Amino acid sequence: MDYIVSARKYRPSTFDAVEGQNNITVTLKNAIKNKQLAHAYLFCGPRGVGKTTCARIFAKTINCLNLPDDTEPCNECESCKSFNENRSFNIHELDAASNNSVDDIRLLTDKVRIPPQIGKYSVYIIDEVHMLSQAAFNAFLKTLEEPPHHAVFILATTEKHKILPTILSRCQTFDFNRISVETAVEYLKFVASKEGISAEEDAYTVIAQKADGAMRDALSIFDQIVAFSGKNITYKQVIENLNVLDYDYYFRLTEAFLEEDTTSVLLIFNDILHHGFEGSHFIYGLSSHFRDLLVCKDPQTVILLETGASIRKRYLEQAQVCDIDFLFNALKITTDCDLNYRIAKNKRLHVEFALISLSRILTEKKKPLN
């Protein structure tokens, strides 16, 4: 099978190619350049943001036999070639989710004593390290504190709070960031250009938002969309394939709320349900819509809006006709509806009552105080 998924095909092989983690890559490069390597590192952060990728690049770089001044691996020496061809004996990866017993750690600690054949360091990457049992952690402590001079440990986890304090105190900790929508969009455009794929700007934005801060997820979703749409991707195709509710529904609903058109509101909601969307999904999206309108009211907070150019223009236009008090009350109604949705017996009526309340915000505001 010749096809390679984008997440693997475009996996960074140098520090400079890692997106969205500049503070970490610069620190690691400086540590290598100044020969200030620690014996243990802890890489923590959300899934799909580059923890294991950075660990592999780090392992490759510190073993490069002809390391250039820019502290990026040369890709020409025997050590780099063996890393690129997945035949290096200097890098050892352990999945702690499935190898979490004391015996697994003892096998690892026995292996640590063996010096590398090529290069200076043996690098041990332990993924999902928080899955190790209490006994396995304890068996690992001594080796982690006083490893041989050729051993470097890189522990990776998505749940830092589950790591024992005694382990944390022995590691240099690096907290990886979620990938921003803008960064994900730019990288998706790069991948698309390499693959000869064209896509609408808003299509990239929806994919990046759906990935929720994980670059790997963004690339996986991108592959899924390409399989569905081919070489030309449209916004409509993306929301259809990902089952995302079109922004247009929220804009139309907000117009109906401002016009106090309860009939149109209920008919639009019925159409949304007819397309197979859950009420909880809809009300969450409506809350986000009001939030985005609110941030558009202030020029200083517009940067918090994570949408494409055409959708951004619509938000800015609609924000001008929405009163801040209206948006505040609307957010309160939708947030309360979202909180109580799970316990509501008649879920459709629960959402419909919230929509009717939204249609009466301006009327209630006009009523004189008793």
Q: What is the pLDDT of residues 59-80, one digit of tens each?
A: 999 988 888 888 888 888 888 8
Greater pLDDT, 365 or 348: 348
In Å, how far are 127, 184, 195 from 192, measured between CA atoms? Answer: 30, 12, 5
3-state secondary structure string across the chain: CCCCCHHHHCCCCCHHHCCCCHHHHHHHHHHHHCCCCCCEEEEECCCCCCHHHHHHHHHHHHCCCCCCCCCCCCCCCHHHHHHHCCCCCCEEEEECCCCCCHHHHHHHHHHHCCCCCCCCCEEEEEECHHHCCHHHHHHHHHHHHCCCCCEEEEEEECCHHHCCHHHHCCCEEEECCCCCHHHHHHHHHHHHHHHCCEECHHHHHHHHHHHCCCHHHHHHHHHHHHHHHCCEECHHHHHHHHCCCCHHHHHHHHHHHHCCCHHHHHHHHHHHHHCCCCHHHHHHHHHHHHHHHHHCCCCCCHHHCCCCHHHHHHHHHHHHCCCHHHHHHHHHHHHHHHHHCCCCCCHHHHHHHHHHHHHCHHHHHHCCCC
Greater pLDDT, 70 or 123: 123
The proportion of the chain whose per-residue pLDDT surpasses 70, expressed as a percent, equals 98
pLDDT of 117: 78
- Range 181-242: architecture per CATH: Orthogonal Bundle (1.10)
CATH number of 247-366: 1.20.272.10
**pLDDT band at residue 164, thresholds of 50, 70 and 90?**
confident
What would the pLDDT profile of 213-222 be if each residue is shown by its tens digit? 899 999 999 9
- CATH class in words for 6-175: alpha beta
pLDDT of 280: 92
Place of tokens 């009466």: 360
Q: Average pLDDT of the chain?
A: 89
What would the pLDDT profile of 34-57 be if each residue is shown by its tens digit? 889 999 999 999 999 999 999 999
The proportion of the chain whose per-residue pLDDT surpasses 90, expressed as a percent, equals 51
Is residue 369 scored above 60 in pLDDT? Answer: no
**pLDDT band at residue 291, thresholds of 50, 70 and 90?**
very high
**pLDDT band at residue 315, thresholds of 50, 70 and 90?**
very high
Is residue 141 scored above 90 in pLDDT? Answer: no
**For the chain, what are the domain ranges?**
6-175, 181-242, 247-366
Span 229-239, mean pLDDT?
A: 90
pLDDT of 106: 86
Span 125-153, mean pLDDT?
A: 88
Lowest mean pLDDT among 9-18, 65-74, 146-155: 65-74
pLDDT of 368: 60
Is residue 179 scored above 70 in pLDDT? Answer: yes
